[in-house]
Amino acid sequence: MSWTRFMRVAVCVSVAAALVSVPMGGAMAKPHGTYSVTPSSVTGGTPTGLDLSFLSAQGSSTGTNGDNLECLVFTLDSFTSLTGASATSPSGNWHAQVGPPPPGTTDPASNQVTLWTDDPVGAQLHKGETATAHVTATPPSSAGDVVFNLDTFRTNDCSNSGFLFSASTTVTVTSGPPPPPPAGKNNTTTTLVCATGTPVVNTPDNCTATVKDIGGSVAVNAPTGTVTLTTSGGGAWAAPGTCTLGSPTADSASCSLNYTPSATGGQTLTASYGGDSDHVGSVGTAGITVQSGTQPPGNFKPDELIRLLHAKTFKGNNIYNGTGGRQTVFAKARHRHSRTAIVEVQNDGDLDTIIVTGQGHRPGYSIKYFHGKTNITNDVVSRVYTLHLAHGAFSRIKVVITVLKGARVGLVRSWQIEARSQGDPTQRDVVKFKVGVLKG
């Protein structure tokens, strides 16, 4: 996405969270509150200042009630490069940091922001008070839905005990107007598309960069000049690593260049347009997953099965196709409720590395993928999550889909989860998880 494509994020949500544990002698209660994310307008993929706040709607205004808060843990899924956290609170003596909370927890998540006080008596967050953390974070580079989670701990050392409750919502990232270009120039966007998203090592893959004029202070016209191509992984672009824009239309131009990968795995290819007398520059990227160029003799056969969380049997055993036919499950959920499916990835062939790929957030819904308790959503959606399985071995992945507040009743969407052999990329299997929106 071009640096000129601005994005804005807005969410304000009330959460009623259930009590899941009570300290010795504590009274049963239902702590709840409201929280919000209030960022400035940002460019996709560019660090931006986020203000994360929590308004306490529990405890007493005098601080005599044991439900008053002493520690807050925010988790920003899909946001990266979190830095520079600072905190404010009416109660005073609060701190903020990025990464693992203070001693007492074992969660190593780097996309966490923790607000906490080292004065559990005088600096508790009382009813009606708000704690705020300001943090610099890099948002996703494209429009869509981003999950924002809040875990709240009552204990003064942020340990996983006491009044623990959690909640999540989805931040909707939408395209906004680009900034005005310099006088006499127009803004541009650059996109990069390769012939295949799964090229083979040492085999050239043709990629096309397209630069589009999106308006500004002069008449719209086709950009000219050159595009520079780079890669995050092992491999090389055809010399000289640049291409000259051609094939002009009324508002765009394009050029192509071959990329030859030299290592397997996920890579990001980048196209950087330098601009011309009428246009400012822009940058576009393409994600690829490089397959092995050598295919040793053998039998490679990934097999996927799927079932709803509480179902007794799986669908799809020994069924191999790329459509999800006869291996699809369906569930319905009300707004702000979730449904879960279990996907079992089997290796019915020889020892193999199997690449698991799943679709991401869809309008009206958010999705998460877990392997055990580990959130693997980013790797699955980015096509870089792998399982190393011997013949007959299997591994299970949990897929959690949440219906968002504004989803239309009756709306049904499906997610495709693919298992592809790295030993023989032509061998794959697909299952589907479909979810519909219920009224109420």
- Burial class, 160, CB count within 10 angstroms (exposed 0-12 / middle 13-18 / buried 19+): middle
Q: What are the structural domain ranges in the chain?
A: 6-176, 186-290, 302-437
Q: Taking residues 13-23, what's their average pLDDT?
A: 25
Q: According to the per-residue pLDDT averaged within each range, which of 57-61, 283-287, 329-333, 436-440 is highest?
A: 329-333
H/E stretch holding 379: helix 377-381
Look up the pTM and report it. 0.40
Per-residue pLDDT for 328 more than 90? yes
Predicted pLDDT at 32: 40
- Burial class, 407, CB count within 10 angstroms (exposed 0-12 / middle 13-18 / buried 19+): buried
Q: Taking residues 305-311, what's their average pLDDT?
A: 96
Predicted pLDDT at 237: 94
Q: From CA 353, how far away is CA 290, in angstroms rounded?
A: 13
Q: Taking residues 329-336, what's their average pLDDT?
A: 95
Which CATH superfamily is 186-290 part of? Immunoglobulins (2.60.40.10)
Unique residue bearing structure tokens 């219920």: 438
Predicted pLDDT at 149: 56
H/E stretch holding 381: helix 377-381
Predicted pLDDT at 309: 95
Choose between 11 and 70: higher pLDDT.
70
What digits encode the pLDDT tens for the residues 414-437? 999 999 998 888 899 999 999 999
Which fold, 6-176? Immunoglobulin-like (2.60.40)
Q: Taking residues 331-360, what's their average pLDDT?
A: 94
What residues contact 372, with CB distance under 8 A and at least 6 apart? none
Q: Which of 144-148, 250-254, 361-365 is least confident?
A: 144-148
Choose between 219 and 32: higher pLDDT.
219
Topology match between the domains 186-290 and 302-437: yes
> Mean of the per-residue pLDDT values for the chain?
77
Choose between 36 and 186: higher pLDDT.
186
302-437 is a CATH 2.60.40.10 domain: yes
Predicted pLDDT at 170: 52
Reported as a pLDDT band with limits 50, 70 and 90, residue 290 is: confident
Contacts 24+ apart (CB under 8 A), 41-44: 41/6, 41/7, 41/8, 41/176, 42/6, 42/7, 42/8, 42/9, 42/139, 43/3, 43/4, 43/5, 43/6, 43/7, 44/1, 44/5, 44/6, 44/7, 44/139, 44/140, 44/141, 44/142, 44/143, 44/173
What digits encode the pLDDT tens for the residues 133-177? 777 776 665 555 555 555 555 444 565 444 444 445 555 555 555
Q: According to the per-residue pLDDT averaged within each range, which of 122-136, 289-303, 322-336 is highest?
A: 322-336
Per-residue pLDDT for 2 more than 70? no
What digits encode the pLDDT tens for the residues 69-104? 667 776 666 666 677 777 777 767 777 777 665 555
